[in-house]
């Protein structure tokens, strides 16, 4: 069975990034415990050190790390693996890292989301509409759309949040960094330099969260095995090794992991809705979610026809689910559920098989290819490494 064909669902019972965040939050003084702790790294073990650093390397799946021999510093400290959340994508998983909540509770279900509160479909990280003019500017949206606190607001210690300068002050990032002191960095080297300084100068115990996006960007554009992605990972590994040496003796846990992994999807494996006008006509709005897990909103009187069309024409590449069944099956996490979770995932979810993706293009949208993709339930997308060492 190829790695594309083998699938893995999120394991919220002690083996996912949600459980890692429960371990970290408990170790840092939070009294909230809606989830089990991570079996591989329980809170009591983390609490033995003075400081905790969490470095999230966007897109560094377990498979990607294992395939690249030029990453000895990261590979040398892998203590296990975890699952991402569903969908295995940045919008859902980064929100988990920054809130400690599973998607079932934070309610962020993919890149494009239809939001009943403002009756508009947004790209949720930049908070910009997919089509039609914006009804509200991005800076006014967080209090309307996000009912959750950040994780930092719940911790009983000094918190820092590091992000690239392009996103550090964005309305989404600012909301989810409440309770932390934010630092923007200009380069990978500067991010590691800031991490080192924050540990070496620290008086009181610190929790430091750092987000690193560049491996993800190269993997999307050029593919997971590309020279660009491989070189980026090699450079990151060297800097991670230097950080280990620089902060030796600070009594810190250095933890590195990812929000999701990746697969490559060649252009001939893209289902374009332009080629399926009958299907597109049954949708009440454009696709939401991800290319690997697309949410479909379908008129009630067209649902049987919709199911029939998908089974007849797309069975080779699509697993068709009623979206409510995925909630019940625990894909988004355990209950209690966000009050608008169901409305944000449509009537059906198209989970793409093997290395297939699905895409619709709206008039005026810039067509851009995406070789590396994620969001689905293949082992490669869902499994992320757990890298941890105490220095």
Q: What is the pLDDT of residue 300?
A: 93
Give the alpha-carbon dihedral of 79, 85, 89, 90, to 10 degrees: -70
DSSP H/E element including 17: helix 17-27
Q: What is the 3-state secondary structure (H, E, C) of 144-213?
A: HHCCCCCCHHHCCCEEEEEEEHHHHCCHHHHHHCCCCEEEEECCHHHHHHHHHHHHHCCCCCEEEEEEEC
Q: What is the pLDDT of residue 364?
A: 82
Q: What is the pLDDT of residue 3?
A: 40
Q: For residues 14 and 35, what is the distance between their CA atoms, to the nearest angstrom?
A: 8
Q: For residues 113 and 338, what is the distance between their CA atoms, to the nearest angstrom?
A: 14
Tell me how crowded residue 236 is: count the other CB atoms within 10 A of its CB. 23
**Distance, CA of 73 to chain centre:** 23
For 306-322, the DSSP string reads HHHHHHHHSTTTEEEEE
**Distance, CA of 329 to chain centre:** 20
* 391 residues of the chain, pLDDT tens digit each: 334 469 999 999 999 999 999 999 999 999 999 999 999 999 999 999 999 999 999 999 999 999 988 899 999 999 999 999 999 999 999 999 999 999 999 999 999 999 999 999 999 999 999 988 999 999 999 999 999 999 999 999 999 999 999 999 999 999 999 999 999 999 999 999 999 999 999 789 999 999 999 999 999 999 999 999 999 999 999 999 999 999 999 999 999 999 999 999 999 999 999 999 999 999 999 999 999 999 999 999 999 999 999 999 999 999 999 999 999 999 999 999 999 999 999 999 999 999 999 999 998 888 888 999 999 999 999 999 999 999 9
pTM tops 0.95, yes or no: yes
Tell me how crowded residue 268 is: count the other CB atoms within 10 A of its CB. 6
Q: Which tens digit of pLDDT belongs to each residue from 326-385?
A: 999 999 999 999 999 999 999 999 999 999 999 999 988 888 889 999 999 999 999 999
Q: What is the pLDDT of residue 69?
A: 82
- In 3D space, the residue among 255, 260, 216, 217 whose CA is nearest the CA of residue 83 turns out to be 260
């Amino acid at each position: 069975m190829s790695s594309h064909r083998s699938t893995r669902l999120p394991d919220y019972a002690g083996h996912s990034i949600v459980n890692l965040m429960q371990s970290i939050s408990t170790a840092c003084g939070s009294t909230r415990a809606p989830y089990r702790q991570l079996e591989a790294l329980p809170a009591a073990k983390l609490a033995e050190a003075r400081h905790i650093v969490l470095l999230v390397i966007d897109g560094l799946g377990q498979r990607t790390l294992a395939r690249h021999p030029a990453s000895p510093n990261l590979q040398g400290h892998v203590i296990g693996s975890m699952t991402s959340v569903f969908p295995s994508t940045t919008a859902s998983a980064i929100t988990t890292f920054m809130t400690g909540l599973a998607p079932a509770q934070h309610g962020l279900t993919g890149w494009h989301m239809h939001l009943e509160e403002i009756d508009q479909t947004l790209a949720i990280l930049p908070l910009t509409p997919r089509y039609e003019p914006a009804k509200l500017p991005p800076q006014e949206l967080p209090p309307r759309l996000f009912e959750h606190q950040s994780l930092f607001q719940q911790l009983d210690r000094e918190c820092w949040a590091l992000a690239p300068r392009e996103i550090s002050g964005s309305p989404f990032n600012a909301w989810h960094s409440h309770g932390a002191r934010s630092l923007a960095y200009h380069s990978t080297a500067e991010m590691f330099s800031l991490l080192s300084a924050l540990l070496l100068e620290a008086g009181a115990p610190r929790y430091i969260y750092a987000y690193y996006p560049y491996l993800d960007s190269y993997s999307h554009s050029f593919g997971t095995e590309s020279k660009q992605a491989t070189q980026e990972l090699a450079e990151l590994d060297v800097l991670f090794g230097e950080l280990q040496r620089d902060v030796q003796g600070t009594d810190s846990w250095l933890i590195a992991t990812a929000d999701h992994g990746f697969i490559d999807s060649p252009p001939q494996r893209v289902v374009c809705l332009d080629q399926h006008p009958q299907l597109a006509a049954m949708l009440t709005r454009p696709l939401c979610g991800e290319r690997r897990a697309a949410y479909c909103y379908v008129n009630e009187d067209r649902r049987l026809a919709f199911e029939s069309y998908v089974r007849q024409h797309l069975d080779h590449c699509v697993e068709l689910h009623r979206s409510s069944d995925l909630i019940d099956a625990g894909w988004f996490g355990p209950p209690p559920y966000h009050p608008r979770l169901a409305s944000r995932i449509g009537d059906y979810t198209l989970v793409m098989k093997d290395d297939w993706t699905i895409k619709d293009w709206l008039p005026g949208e810039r067509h851009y290819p995406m070789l590396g993709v994620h969001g689905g339930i293949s082992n490669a997308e869902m499994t992320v490494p757990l890298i941890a060492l105490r220095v």
